[in-house]
Amino acid sequence: MSTKGLSYKRSSFIAPFLVSSSTISDHYAKIDDKHVVFEFNGNHHYQSPFKMNTDKRKKSVLDDPNRNTTVAKSSGPGEKYITIKIPYYMQLTKDFAKYIFQDVCLEKLDKSFYSEEKFIKAIKALYNTNDENMIFAPGLHTSPQTPASYNEKGIDRFLKEMGEMSKKYPSIKHQYIRSLKLYIDDVDGKDHLIIPKNEAFTEWFKLKPEEKYLNCIFEREKKDYEY
């Protein structure tokens, strides 16, 4: 079992849901006539302006069939690629699985790949459990790459992602905020290590997590956040 964000096998995150597709790698799948790139966004996508600039340039290439002839050798030249992003701070809870493999896939691929059976298969591969209550919650359990380390555009990206995910699935927001509050407790209330000085983030963080959404595991070891 892994608590380090998305450090587990990425193919295990995707493959159980895309059973009808031809999965070529951890990042690419051809689904019907569509070419799909899965991007696992690590912490640098929220911290580094150079990485963000690379993201912007990469998207412009993936979106343009005339520029992406070497992006995926398996598909040949002149294809448009659809990108689905998975943030490093997320875990595969049922709500997040529905968001990615049902809602996002319906929006971008005109097809849902979510089912209860596939979800159980996925968490068994990722967490070695059949019980959704034994999954690590979205949030930061071992990573020192807290929102306090994000730059302004990174904070904007994070809040936009959270808004999109939590609109239909509020558990994601409640669980993430709970993980940050526990992190603050673990560092003796030194919230500047966890929370950025940003008005929009501060307003977002005012939410009091509701117990009904906190049916996941929150865990952290001191060696992971010693300062």
Residue 11 neighbours by CB under 8 Å, 6+ apart: 23, 25, 26
Asked if 152 and 198 touch (Cβ cutoff 8 Å), the reply is: yes
Asked if 175 and 185 touch (Cβ cutoff 8 Å), the reply is: no
* pLDDT for the residue 2: 40
* pLDDT for the residue 225: 44
* Tokens standing for residue 192: 């500047």
Asked if 227 and 193 touch (Cβ cutoff 8 Å), the reply is: yes
* pLDDT for the residue 109: 93
* pLDDT for the residue 20: 44
Estimate to the nearest angstrom the gap between the alpha carbon of 104 and the chain centroid.
Answer: 13
Cα separation, 193 vs 187, whole angstroms: 8
* pLDDT for the residue 210: 96
* pLDDT for the residue 25: 45
* Tokens standing for residue 42: 């690590």
How many C-beta atoms surround the C-beta of residue 131 within 10 A?
10
* pLDDT for the residue 3: 42
pTM, to two decimals: 0.84
Torsion of CA 167, 192, 3, 113, to 10 degrees: 20
* pLDDT for the residue 62: 80
Q: pLDDT tens digits, the chain, 227 residues: what are they?
A: 344 444 456 667 777 887 544 444 457 788 888 888 888 899 999 999 999 998 888 888 887 777 766 444 454 556 788 889 999 999 999 999 999 999 999 999 999 999 999 999 999 988 899 999 998 899 987 789 999 999 999 999 999 999 999 999 999 999 999 999 999 998 999 999 999 999 999 999 999 999 999 999 887 555 544 54
